[in-house]
Chain A
């Protein structure tokens, strides 16, 4: 089954404790991205990657890091989480060879930073 898998689904952590949210897709997509969803603000892009070793900042990159060492994986790293990073996070992937097309989203990770 074609899918984007995020882990964990739920995470509660304390301020300053480094964490990683994993994202993996099995569709051989070149493009992967991370979004955060906050009430009244919709989905905002954090980082994106157009292929292996090619990452770039989205609209709200402060406090986040990403890496793309393999095509299928695109982890999101919070080196020193703060309460304002409490949010619902989504990873998405899509192919690049057909121009703009459907983005496939993971199930989401609800992060709470206390």
Chain B
């Protein structure tokens, strides 16, 4: 089955810096790659997703890139703000909403 690895497990940056979180997947049939943000005491919430027919997608300060050949995808957050502090999960899916999640990255943005 699908296996998703996520790095780093923790990431500390200064406000205004960029943050990059990387994930690799094992199943070449995976075609959907969402990123979820989990704030303290809340459930994960989708922040951006990308499908296998697209190499990059951007939404304001966040962007996701996908390299199908290497089977890895990354989340990029620019101009980080303290409210970006949270746990971020990547996931991969081959279809029918079956999501396999990475182990999470705790991002801390210091003022």
Contacts and interface: CB of A to CB of B under 8 A. Distances in A.
Nearest to B44: A105
A100 B103 contact: no
A93 to B, nearest CB: 9
Interface string A80-114: 00000000001010101001111101111000000
A92 B91 CA distance: 14
B32 A42 contact: no
30 contacts: A33-B97, A35-B101, A40-B9, A41-B103, A42-B101, A42-B103, A43-B44, A43-B89, A43-B99, A45-B99, A45-B100, A48-B97, A48-B98, A59-B1, A59-B100, A90-B44, A94-B97, A96-B96, A100-B95, A100-B96, A100-B97, A102-B34, A102-B49, A103-B44, A103-B99, A105-B36, A105-B43, A105-B44, A107-B42, A108-B42
Nearest to A110: B41
Contacts of B43: 4, 90, 92, 105-108
Give the interface centre of B31, B95, B101 by most chain A CB atoms within 10 Å: B101
B44 to A, nearest CB: 5
Given A40-B9, A90-B44, A103 B97 contact: yes
A50 interface: yes
A31 B102 CA distance: 21
Given A102-B49, A105-B43, A108-B43, A44 B101 contact: yes
A24 B73 CA distance: 33
Contacts, number: 62
Main secondary structure of the interface of A (DSSP, over half): strand
B78 to A, nearest CB: 23
Contacts of B6: 42
B29 interface: no
B106 to A, nearest CB: 10
A103 to B, nearest CB: 6
A42 to B, nearest CB: 4
Interface string A27-58: 00001010100001111110010100000000
B46 interface: yes
